[in-house]
């Protein structure tokens, strides 16, 4: 474990969640599993303080994940803040250092190039990370590192290459076996002396690992091939899980590890589940009752088998809540808890139905004045905008306040979770009743597309043919991966593509960086859950939210002008005519007329990984503007 590496609290969930490799100054670490998090390690007397400061409550999302994961999930925990460096008075008990393990364990000296194995739990910036090699480089006669003054000895650097499998296991590259792969009798770990050299050869052929004890050597050429390590691991993966400690190894006979770079984008794919807190779950009373510690206190203290009313009223006063309302909410939950839990477990698993509740919240009545802290909306009349606007949209809702919860449920390596056939790496040795997560408060603009406009546009033969070609490509990919084929519709392609054009223009006009805006798509052809909407919202707000700039852009004479400008800018791409005439670009050719110059966004802003985009369905072509949903109405 380390003393004190630091980063933003939300980064401990994504992108540097459990099992992710993080590059600090002169050090490479991995966020440890939930078993080592402060909530599980601190004394029982301090645990309530950790809970109070870092607990994230979202009862609706907790019920959904309980049903999805098949085990009870009560709440979520954000990473704790680091203790203060200089403490005046008593230290804060709600702060604790986050746990890390060292990975990779193999390091090399940039001066003498020796490879050294450093224990996973060596202290942060300890002497174990300074080179003590008493030998010279084979190609030089400089003084050995061990003869230098202690302060001048070079610090060891983590190696660039590691080994991982699709199930999520990760381990050090087998340097000893790789260097001795061409000899029959390999040196033992105790006698081998490995050096990592760079030569003048191009690419990986110029990186050579050599054992000076026996003279065996091998370049890294071919190390990244799919089956390059099959002989080393005899057709199976050792199943190492460093984030869970030495006891975390798990048999993995079905996988052959592959070499990857330590900081490569495919070294960690987080599986995130997000949710917008909506009524009635956004009401303060409901949030209080969704806290497991408070609910357990209420249900465990009874008088003759009945709820302890004096205790409940005192609890309401201490929490600043209306006594009668709190008592009524407690009784309602006690009498209907079993039925509600069963219904929730059945209804909250499906993503479409889950989002449909949010969709209804935007288009429904505004919450009462006392319940607008985490969710507040204001409907705007579509006829107050330019004349064409009412033809394109049925509703505009300015979401003045919203709270989004993001939860890490697992991760994969090498391939994204959607392509991993449901196999996610575990976050802990034993299942917990909580998961890592965090909340951000912000604001947003919700747009509901016109039903009549979509019905007329989506049935055009040219539009159907364009979507059919993309659907065929999705089908080929699904068959290759042995997974069910995903079905997309013209409406989905349109709303997703428009979201990207809209966000790019908003970033230009209202001052938000494009990576701080996110899309949330509400699209469904299910007759019981028809949706055709889009929420664009701030994704980097702090605990108090943002300043209202995005909502202001949604007002009349601003929103219509912004959309018109977005569509006009999308009509011309610097990569045209190649972009507008493209029949497949991007990963797996799942984009049509969409590239970095006209439609792509930062990966954190897009729900689809910058895929399934086609600006043509929004704006048409110069010759056929009617192929676009907006056609020439706003350009």
Contacts of 73 (CB under 8 A, 6+ apart): 62, 65, 66, 433, 434, 435
pLDDT tens figures, 128-137: 688 888 877 6
What's the token pair of residue 469?
A: 């070609």
pLDDT of the residue at 267? 92
- Residue 385 falls inside a structural domain: yes
Of 221, 237, 253, the one marking the end of a domain is 237
Q: What angle do CA 603, 613, 535 make, to 5 degrees?
A: 65
pLDDT of the residue at 139? 61
- Residue 7 falls inside a structural domain: no
Q: How far apart are CA 224 and CA 414, in angstroms?
A: 12
Share of the chain above pLDDT 90, in %: 50
Mean pLDDT (the chain) is 87
Q: What letters, b where the CB count within 10 A reaches 16 and e where it falls short, cover 245-263? A: beebebebeebbbbbbebe
Alpha helices in 120-273 (DSSP H): 175-179, 230-233
- Tell me which residue has tokens 């005519």: 577
How many other CB atoms are found less than 10 A from the CB of residue 307? 16
Q: Which domain holds residue 182?
A: 107-116+124-237
- Residue 177 falls inside a structural domain: yes
- Tell me which residue has tokens 């309401």: 316
pLDDT tens figures, 128-163: 688 888 877 656 677 888 888 888 889 899 999 999
Contacts of 412 (CB under 8 A, 6+ apart): 166, 167, 168, 269, 271, 420, 423, 424, 425
- Residue 176 falls inside a structural domain: yes
**DSSP line for 487-519:** P--HHHHHHHHHHHHHHHHHHHHH---GGGEEE
- Residue 336 falls inside a structural domain: no
Q: How far apart are CA 363 and CA 360, in angstroms?
A: 5
pLDDT tens figures, 218-259: 999 999 998 889 888 877 888 899 999 888 888 887 778 999
- Closest listed residue to residue 223, CA positions, set 203, 195, 251: 203
Q: How far is CA 213 from the centre of its chain?
A: 46
Sign of CA dihedral 173, 177, 182, 188: positive
What's the token pair of residue 328?
A: 């009524």
pLDDT at 342 over 60: no
pLDDT tens figures, 471-527: 999 999 888 877 888 899 999 999 999 999 999 999 988 878 888 899 999 999 999
Q: Quick one: 567 exposed, middle or buried, by C-beta within 10 A (0-12, 13-18, 19+)?
A: buried
Average pLDDT over residues 39-52: 87
Q: What letters, b where the CB count within 10 A reaches 16 and e where it falls short, cover 229-239? A: beebbeeebbb
Of 176, 206, 237, the one marking the end of a domain is 237
Instruction: Please give the torsion angle defined by the CA atoms of residues 345, 351, 352 and 358, in that order, rounded to the nearest 10 degrees.
Output: 80
- Residue 37 falls inside a structural domain: no
- Residue 344 falls inside a structural domain: no
How many independent structural domains does the chain possess? 2
Q: How far is CA 15 from the centre of its chain?
A: 6
Of 209, 237, 265, the one marking the end of a domain is 237
- Residue 509 falls inside a structural domain: yes
Average pLDDT over residues 406-429: 86
Q: How far apart are CA 610 and CA 625, in angstroms?
A: 24
């Amino acid at each position: 474990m380390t003393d004190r590496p630091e980063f933003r609290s939300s980064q401990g969930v994504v992108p540097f969640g459990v099992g992710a490799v993080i590059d600090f100054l002169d050090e490479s670490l991995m966020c440890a599993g939930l078993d080592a998090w402060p909530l599980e390690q601190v004394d029982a007397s301090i645990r309530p303080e950790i809970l109070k400061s870092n607990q994230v409550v979202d009862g609706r999302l907790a019920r959904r994940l309980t049903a999805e994961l098949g085990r009870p999930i009560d709440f979520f925990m954000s990473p704790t803040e680091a203790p203060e460096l200089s403490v005046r008075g008593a230290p804060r008990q709600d702060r604790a250092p986050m746990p890390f393990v060292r990975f990779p364990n193999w390091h090399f000296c940039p001066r003498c190039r020796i490879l050294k194995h450093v224990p996973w739990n060596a202290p942060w910036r300890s002497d174990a990370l300074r080179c003590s090699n008493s030998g010279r480089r084979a190609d030089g006669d400089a003084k050995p590192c061990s003869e230098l003054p202690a302060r001048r000895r070079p610090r060891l650097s983590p190696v660039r290459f590691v080994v991982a499998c699709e199930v999520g296991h990760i381990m050090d590259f087998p340097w000893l076996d790789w260097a001795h792969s061409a000899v029959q009798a390999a040196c033992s770990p105790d006698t081998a002396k490995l050096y990592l050299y760079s030569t003048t050869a191009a690419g990986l052929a110029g990186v050579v690992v050599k054992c000076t004890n026996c003279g065996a050597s091998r370049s890294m050429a071919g190390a990244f091939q799919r089956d390059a390590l099959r002989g080393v691991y005899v057709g199976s993966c050792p199943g190492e899980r460093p984030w869970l400690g030495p006891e975390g190894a798990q048999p993995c006979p079905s996988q052959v590890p592959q070499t990857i770079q330590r900081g490569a984008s495919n070294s960690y794919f987080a599986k995130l589940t997000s949710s917008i807190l909506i009524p009635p779950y956004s009401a303060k009373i409901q949030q209080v009752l969704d806290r497991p510690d408070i609910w357990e206190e209420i249900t465990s203290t009874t008088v003759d088998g009945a709820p302890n009313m004096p205790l409940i009223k005192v609890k309401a006063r201490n929490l600043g809540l209306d006594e009668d309302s709190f008592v009524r909410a407690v009784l309602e939950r006690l009498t209907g808890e079993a039925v509600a839990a069963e219904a929730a477990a059945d209804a909250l698993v499906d993503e479409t139905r889950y989002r449909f509740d949010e969709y209804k919240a935007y288009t429904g009545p505004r919450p009462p004045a006392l319940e607008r802290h985490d969710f507040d909306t204001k409907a705007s009349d579509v006829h107050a905008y330019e004349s064409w606007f009412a033809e394109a949209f049925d509703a505009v809702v300015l979401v003045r306040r919203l709270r989004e919860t993001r939860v890490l449920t697992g991760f994969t390596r090498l391939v994204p979770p959607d392509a991993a056939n449901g196999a996610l790496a575990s976050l802990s040795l034993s299942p917990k009743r909580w998961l890592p997560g965090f909340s951000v408060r912000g604001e947003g603009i919700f747009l509901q597309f016109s039903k009549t406009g979509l019905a007329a546009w989506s049935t055009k033969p040219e539009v159907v043919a364009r979507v059919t070609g993309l659907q065929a490509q999705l089908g080929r990919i699904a068959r290759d991966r042995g997974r069910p084929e995903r079905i997309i519709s013209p409406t989905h392609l349109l709303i997703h593509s428009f979201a990207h054009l809209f966000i790019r223009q908003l970033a230009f006009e209202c001052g938000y960086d494009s990576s701080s805006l996110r899309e949330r798509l509400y699209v469904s052809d299910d007759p019981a859950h028809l949706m055709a909407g889009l929420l664009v919202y701030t994704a980097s707000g702090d605990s108090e939210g943002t300043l209202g700039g995005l909502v202001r852009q949604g007002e009349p004479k601003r929103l219509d002008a912004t959309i018109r400008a977005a569509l006009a800018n999308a009509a011309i791409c610097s990569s045209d005519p190649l972009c507008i005439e493209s029949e497949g670009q991007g990963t797996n050719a799942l984009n049509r007329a969409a590239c970095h110059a006209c439609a792509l966004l930062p990966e954190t802003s897009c729900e689809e990984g910058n895929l399934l985009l086609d600006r043509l369905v929004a704006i048409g072509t110069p010759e056929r503007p009617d192929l676009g949903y907006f056609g020439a109405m706003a350009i």
